[in-house]
Amino acid sequence: MTSIDLNADLGEGFGRWLLTDDERLLSVVTSANVACGFHAGDAATMRRVCELAAGRGVRIGAQVSYRDLAGFGRRAMDVPPAELAAEMAYQIGALEVFARAAGSRVAYVKPHGALYNRVVRDEEQAGAVVDGVLLADPTLPVLGLPGSRLLELAGKAGLPVVTEAFSDRAYTDEGTLVPRGQEGAVVTDQEAVVARSVDLARDGEVAARSGRRIGVRARSLCLHGDTPGAVDLARRVRAALESSGVRVEAFA
């Protein structure tokens, strides 16, 4: 039977500001990408989400980012490699404290936002992320885009690599994500998102923005938690996957 992991970006609040419905999303997903304080999240939020995830058997992942709270980690930044590696390890270590306190552990690492897109092609920045993961824990899997420099370098360094896909993001013909600043970068039609999820999980392909069908082999499917109606959409996606014969389970 085909299987796939469902991951979502969680803990993306700060202080009294809340963005994601963490508790309800954790009843649907199998892996939680927890913000580690650099693009969103704070100590109390990280602790709460780790406790909720551990209580539901959801795997905890460190969603590492550029240090960019004001821009939600979506602004391009140039960070020296040694500094970026240290910041990666710092974020993973901070989340590990709360994961272990909740009776769990950090099970994988996933970059966020501008960093995620940068390490698709930028070897220097991708290498810095890999160095940071190795510094924190050389056994941690790295979650990222198929064909990215990040996964290539992580694999060469001996880190487990896990590919992911996005059913609510538009793809180029080359298999990369259409930048958020471009029209049509985010797929908002829920019926389309559900259908694309099944296509990705069962057939390993999706329609690019041009209409061309492209191959996207992924072990995990990302569901964005900050979109309107995210919980209901996540439930619909999971129900559609299971009814089509796809087993939903964590990769880690």
How would you write the pLDDT of the chain (252 residues) with one tens digit per residue? 699 999 999 999 888 777 788 999 999 999 999 999 999 999 999 999 999 999 999 999 999 999 999 999 999 999 999 999 999 999 999 999 999 999 999 999 999 999 999 999 999 999 999 999 999 999 999 999 999 999 999 999 999 999 999 999 999 999 999 988 898 899 989 999 999 999 999 999 999 999 999 999 999 999 887 777 889 999 999 999 999 999 999 998
What residue ranges do the domains of the chain occupy?
Answer: 3-248
- The per-residue pLDDT for 202 is 95
The highest-level CATH class for domain 3-248 is: alpha beta
Q: What dihedral angle (degrees, nearest 10) is formed by the CA atoms of 38, 43, 49, 54?
A: 110
- The per-residue pLDDT for 15 is 80
Can you read off the two tokens belonging to residue 75? 């602004």
CA neighbor of 59 nearest in space, from 96, 126, 105:
105
- The per-residue pLDDT for 1 is 66
Q: What dihedral angle (degrees, nearest 10) is formed by the CA atoms of 171, 174, 175, 178?
A: -30
DSSP characters for 120-166?
HH-HHHHHHHHHHHHHH-TT--EEE-TT-HHHHHHHHTT--EEEEEE
